Amino acid sequence: MKIAVLSDIHGNNAALQCVLREIEKHRVNKIFCLGDLLDFGPEPAEVVNIIQKERIATIKGNHDQCIVDYQLENFQFKSPVEREYLEKSITCTRKLLTDKHFDFLENLPLRMEIEIAGCPVLFIHSIPDMYNYPGEKEIRKFLQENKYRYVFYGHIHRPAVYCSDGKMAINPGSVGKPKHGNAMACFCLIQFGDRVIKELAFKFIPYPVEETCRKILQRGFPQKTIEVIRTGIYKP
């Protein structure tokens, strides 16, 4: 079985469309999304519409939750400026959504536990919960203490692989707001077979960044996001 795993689209519809076109070339059996469909990017409704149309198996991220409940207290801000940045972005995003979009976000699952090719697999936004930024030690501990052979998690916006006792945690990076040092969207392709991952590939996809930047300005989103998506670097 061949799957594609993506995460952290953050309302960046241009990046999502380019990623899906690339995925189509590889004829995968299933696409999984690890959450944070929205926030910061200028086309939240368009992103949700595509996720629904393509029937992409999706879990809820912390920003998706905040779009619904507007509870900023769950975030750990490094400064008042960072809080103001998020609050403005959340406000802009909410204005562009309908009740149906809110219902969809509210009903997303927090995790998916399935078996693929005889392997127990977990899809989750972050480890152990959607608001936590785990370090390597915490990730390895999570693998050791749980039954899953493979854990796919997002939230960090950087591709990564950690192994422990024959188990593996994989982060596919970010589609819409990468922090891996360049502007390209990132996701991963995985080929399963005979109870193991046979192939794992991270894909970096160029997309029209300036198109997204123009829409950020047009729709009144914080300009700080432009700096992040142009460079692939986030500075609090």
Q: What is the mean pLDDT of residues 225-233?
A: 95
Percent of the chain beyond pLDDT 70? 100
Flag whether 184 is in a domain: yes
Q: Is residue 94 part of a domain?
A: yes
How many angstroms separate the CA atoms of 50 and 75, rounded? 27
Q: What is the pLDDT of residue 66?
A: 96
pTM: 0.96
Q: Is residue 202 part of a domain?
A: yes
The CATH number for 49's domain is 3.60.21.10
65 located within any domain: yes
Biggest alpha carbon distance in the chain? 51
Task: Tell me how far apart the alpha carbons of residues 216 and 203 are, in angstroms, rounded to a whole number.
Answer: 25
> Is 162 among the domain residues?
no
pLDDT of residue 16: 98
* Total domain count, the chain: 1
CB 137 within 8 A of CB 185: no
For the residues 88-105, what does the mean pLDDT come to?
A: 97
pLDDT higher than 80, residue 236: no
What pLDDT score was predicted for residue 162? 96
Q: What is the pLDDT of residue 36?
A: 98
**Does any domain span residue 137?**
no
The amino acid at 24: E
Q: Which domain holds residue 88?
A: 2-111+172-231
pLDDT average, residue stretch 86-112: 97
State pLDDT tens for residues 171-227.
999 999 999 999 999 999 999 998 899 999 999 999 999 999 999 999 999 999 999
Q: Give me the pLDDT at residue 94, please.
A: 97
Confidence of residue 86 (pLDDT cuts 50, 70, 90): very high
Lowest mean pLDDT: which of 28-37, 73-82, 169-178? 73-82
Q: Across residues 56-66, what is the average pLDDT? A: 97
**What band does 78 get if pLDDT is binned at 50, 70 and 90?**
confident
Residues in the chain: 236
Instruction: Please provide the average confidence, as pLDDT, over all residues in the chain.
Output: 96
Are the CB atoms for 94 and 41 separated by under 8 Å?
Answer: no
- Residue among 171, 153, 130, 159 nearest 232 (CA): 159
Could you tell me which residues come within 8 angstroms of residue 198 by beta carbon, excluding any fewer than 6 positions away? 191, 192
How far is the C-alpha of 222 from the C-alpha of 154, rounded, in Å? Answer: 23
d(CA 1, CA 198): 10
| 67 pLDDT more than 80 | yes
Domain assignment present for 149: no
Within a domain: residue 163?
Answer: no
Query: Strand order in 150-153's β-sheet?
Result: 111-116, 119-124, 150-153, 167-172, 159-164
- Residue 77: the pLDDT is 86
What pLDDT does 232 receive? 96
